[in-house]
Amino acid sequence: MTSSSNNWMLIKIIKLFGALTPLEPRLGKKLIEPLTNLIHSTSAMSLLYECINTVIAVLISISSGMPNHSASIQLCVQKLRILIEDSDQNLKYLGLLAMCKILKTHPKSVQAHKDLILQCLDDKDESIRLRALDLLYGMVSKKNLMEIVKKLMVHMDLAEGTVYRDELLSRIVYICSQNNYQYITNFEWYVSVLVELTRIEGTKHGLTMASQMLDVAIRVPAVRAFSVSQMAVLLDNTHLLLGNGQKNSICEVLYAAAWICGEFSDLLEDPRDSLEALLGGRATSLPPHIQSVYIHNATKLWARLVAKAQEEDKEQDFQDACDLMAQHLPQFMQSADLEVQERACCALNLMRQVSKLHARGERMPQELRVLFAGELNPVAPKAQRKVPIPEGLDLDHWINEPPSESSSEEENSAEMFISSDKTAAGQTLAKESKYEPTEDELRHRREARRQEQANNPHYLKAAKKGSNGLLQQVVDDIPVAHIDLSVPLHIPGLVSSDKYLNSSRATFFDGDKDRESKDDKRKRKKKRGHRKKAALPSPSDSGEEGDAGATEDVGHLVNRTLGEMPEGAHLSDDDGDSRSADDPHRALDIDLDEGPESVPSTQRRHYSPILAEEPHELLEKGAQEVVREKESDKKA
């Protein structure tokens, strides 16, 4: 490898060494120096890429045994930047692909080239844009999160294909939610981003956005009031999100909006308007599972309105809420879905029973509040494995004993001949009963079909031969109006994420000025001789992207670790698994340290030079006795 000048031969040798490195780690340490020399000296891009790819594989495999390899990583990253800046699209793609491998183990080295990765998002090649998206999640920090998300949203508005637009949307959600919302400093901004993403039509990630809205509302109590206000606006504009009805997955967001408004109804400014939005409009055209959530949370709002009206002795408010339920619930009772019917019937009967008691002068506000009392908390990650197995339940026991092999073979053989006879008979009957129409019948059918097509105003007829030129002239004379599609859909009441982005920029700018003024004061104090220890830690280095200046808001505390557990279980129980998440044995819950139930003696499988010298003794004595005697002879 060090003496050959043939690039193709070097590429083959380097690929071979790269494949052998995971099997022999000592080989990797010897390859670093010659590969580094080749990276410095070669001008062939193909050889350069193979050298970089092998160095990355070597450093990943021996990272624990070779800590001082930052210089090699920096060299690879600098050379990869040359590949990415090249005009050849293939080299650019390979450079981004190798950057993704480095990002997994050395993210700080890749973060320095954030500007180049963002430029790749403007590339005309969709595959290069997708590879650049793979690198963005490792470059995010608290300081630049809003800027990166804003750039991705601008690209989403300009995207032409639905595949790339859906990929952008999923990456925005993944970047913001990674590590339990580690880089989000303002959750009102994130909620506004999710609401803005609901304006995208034809996306398949409506369920993802709905789950994010629910998760943020549950885990961040400080943002619930803002979330409820935005969800109420979405409910009022259901017709804008419904689109193509059940084929549009963005309507899944209405599932989250209805649940949030119903669960945290005490934060609603006008519960009656939200109740009317849940029951009226085009609610019956939503998918059945969303209709069920609409009915259930409408019942929550109705219970709160009725309880408040009874406590304050407002007869008109009580009657208006009951009339609203009685007016709209019957249409849900006619639904084809059984759960929608059941929930509508239960809610309607509950309303009628409360109305009867109210007419007799009986007030029950506390009983209505108890129906939906309590707060739903996030479930702990270990909750499922903490569920105790009930007594008498044997998970390893067969529920139905499997049949024996002999009986199953007899049944299959008997059924095989019977089914074949039935099939043959059925085929003969089908052949005999097949009807073939006559020529007159076929002619009448064709004539009837032409007549039906001629009378159908929605069927496109063929143009006459003599009018082709005239039609072409008419089409060419039609004026074409330019439609500005960059104007976003405006929904009154929704807060734009740009508001929080601008305030974030101003905050960071003021913070930088404050830090500069503090540094000047420290320098002046040092000149005077009054040296004091700094009360605050110094700003972080450039590798952290200024995370120290982006502290999390005090009110926006995220419930990242707590959650509900089964009765009697605690989070402190030691049930951790040290194996990697990608380990298939962990997924199958296989303990490699625990052998099978019946294992043959290891003495018979183990190769021993003592036994190999005198194999005839195995016939006279056991293997264990031979080993014991030879060991005693050696000691003597």
Task: Output the DSSP codes for 52-79.
Answer: HHHHHHHHHHTTTT----HHHHHHHHHH
Number of folded domains that form the chain: 1
Question: Is residue 520 a part of any domain in this protein?
Answer: no
Whole-Å CA distances, 243 to 199, 484, 539: 10, 20, 49
In a domain, 68, yes or no: yes
CA dist list (Å): 354 to 325, 330, 351, 402: 12, 17, 5, 55
CA-CA-CA-CA torsion for 18, 22, 26, 27, nearest 10 degrees?
-20
The CATH number for 99's domain is 1.25.40
Give the model's pLDDT for residue 7: 79
**Residue 479, in any domain of the structure:** no
Exposed, middle or buried, 149 (CB in 10 Å: 0-12/13-18/19+)? buried
Domain-embedded: residue 7: yes
Q: List pLDDT tens digits, range 201-249.
A: 778 888 999 999 999 999 888 999 999 999 999 998 888 777 654 456 7
How far, rounded to the nearest angstrom, does the alpha carbon of residue 593 sit from its chain's CA centroid?
Answer: 34
Q: Which residues of the chain are modeled with pLDDT < 50?
A: 65, 245-246, 419-426, 428-431, 467, 471, 483-488, 530-555, 597-623, 626
Structural domain contains residue 132: no
Cα 225 to the chain's mean position, in Å?
25
CA dihedral over 575, 580, 585, 588, signed as positive or negative: positive
- In whole angstroms, what separates CA 267 from the centre of its chain? 29
Torsion angle of the four alpha carbons 50, 51, 53, 59, in this order, in degrees rounded to the nearest 10 = 160
Q: Who's near 582: CB < 8 A, 6+ residues apart?
A: none
Range of the domain at 75: 1-112
Question: What was the pLDDT predicted at 409?
Answer: 60
pLDDT at 499: 62
C-alpha dist (Å) from residue 151 to 103, 118, 133, 213, 276: 21, 9, 12, 22, 38
Residue with tokens 């690929």: 15
| Residue 269 domain flag | no
Residue 218 lies in a domain: no
pTM for the structure as a whole: 0.66
Contacts of 7 (CB under 8 A, 6+ apart): 42, 44, 46, 47
**Rounded CA separation 569/385 (Å):** 10
What is the Cα–Cα distance from 305 to 318, expressed in whole angstroms? 7
Residue-wise burial string across 206-232, b where 16 or more C-beta atoms lie within 10 A, e elsewhere: bebbbbbbbbbbbbbeebbebbbbbbb
Let me know if residue 11 belongs to a domain: yes
- Predicted confidence at residue 174, as pLDDT, reads 92
The per-residue pLDDT for 415 is 54
How many other CB atoms sit within 10 Å of the CB of residue 556? Answer: 18
Q: Report the SS3 class of residue 340.
A: helix
Query: Residue 561 to residues 127, 179, 326, 378, 516: CA-CA distances in angstroms?
Result: 37, 11, 44, 9, 37
- Output the pLDDT for position 486: 42
**Is residue 326 a contact partner of residue 292, using CB atoms and an 8 Å limit?**
no
DSSP state, 493?
T
Structure tokens at 530: 């009054």
